[in-house]
Amino acid sequence: MKQVRVLVVGVLLGLMLGMGWVYAQQGSRAALMPHDYSEIGQLYATINHGGDFRDADLWLSAFSDDAVFTIVVGSGQEFAGKKALSEWRHQSFRGQVGDAKVRHWDGPPRITPTGEGMANARSYFMVYDVSGKSPTISSSGYHDDVFVKTVEGWRVKSRKVYFDAPPA
């Protein structure tokens, strides 16, 4: 009988330790609230509208000061910090302003909290050329994003853009 009690106590103790470990692991990932998901979702719209309408300030407003933007195609390009992002974005607009006649469409991002004030997300995208009679898909791929909560709200800390095929 004593052996059964020791076995039962051992099993219960093991279960309690296991449940405590699982709880501790979940606690290390701060949960996101609905407004966090919404604010992160708005960043996708901010980036897309800023690019599609050649508004560099709007586009840059989605990124943290130390953000890193990486285009993963060929040898790849990486831009680190707001100054480098601004220079690249202005250069890519070639001095033009207004409607670029492209439309970026992102699928719903899969957002995962990774710690207090941090989250990762992945989203598929398609870019449409709307300069002709009918819109045509000019590129597609996905983004891997890291978000950080700043005093101004959520911002992109890192974005890696993967194209399904090199853009034309």
- 168 found inside a domain: no
Is residue 53 located within the same domain as residue 68? Answer: yes
pLDDT (0 to 100) of residue 165: 85
Same domain, 22 and 37: no
CATH number of the domain enclosing 132: 3.10.450.50
What pLDDT, on a 0 to 100 scale, did the predictor assign at position 151? 96
Residues 57 and 133 in one domain: yes
- Full residue range of the structural domain in which residue 2 is found: 1-30
For position 58, what pLDDT does the model report?
A: 98
Same domain (yes/no): 24, 42: no
pLDDT value, residue 22: 38
The 3-state secondary structure of the chain, one letter per residue: CHHHHHHHHHHHHHHHHHHHHHHHHHHCCCCCCHHHHHHHHHHHHHHHHHHHCCCHHHHHCCEEEEEEEEEECCCCEEEECHHHHHHHHHHHHCCCCCCCCEEEEECCCEEEEEECCEEEEEEEEEEEECCCCCCEEEEEEEEEEEEEEECCEEEEEEEEEEECCCCC
In a domain, 117, yes or no: yes
**Residue 92: per-residue pLDDT:** 92
What is the pLDDT at residue 53?
98
2 and 73 in a single domain? The answer is no
Residue 17 and residue 90 in one domain: no
In tens digits, the chain (168 residues) has pLDDT values of 555 454 433 433 443 444 443 344 444 457 999 999 999 999 999 999 999 999 999 999 999 999 999 999 866 899 999 999 999 999 999 989 999 999 999 999 999 999 999 999 999 999 999 999 999 999 999 999 999 999 999 999 999 999 998 766
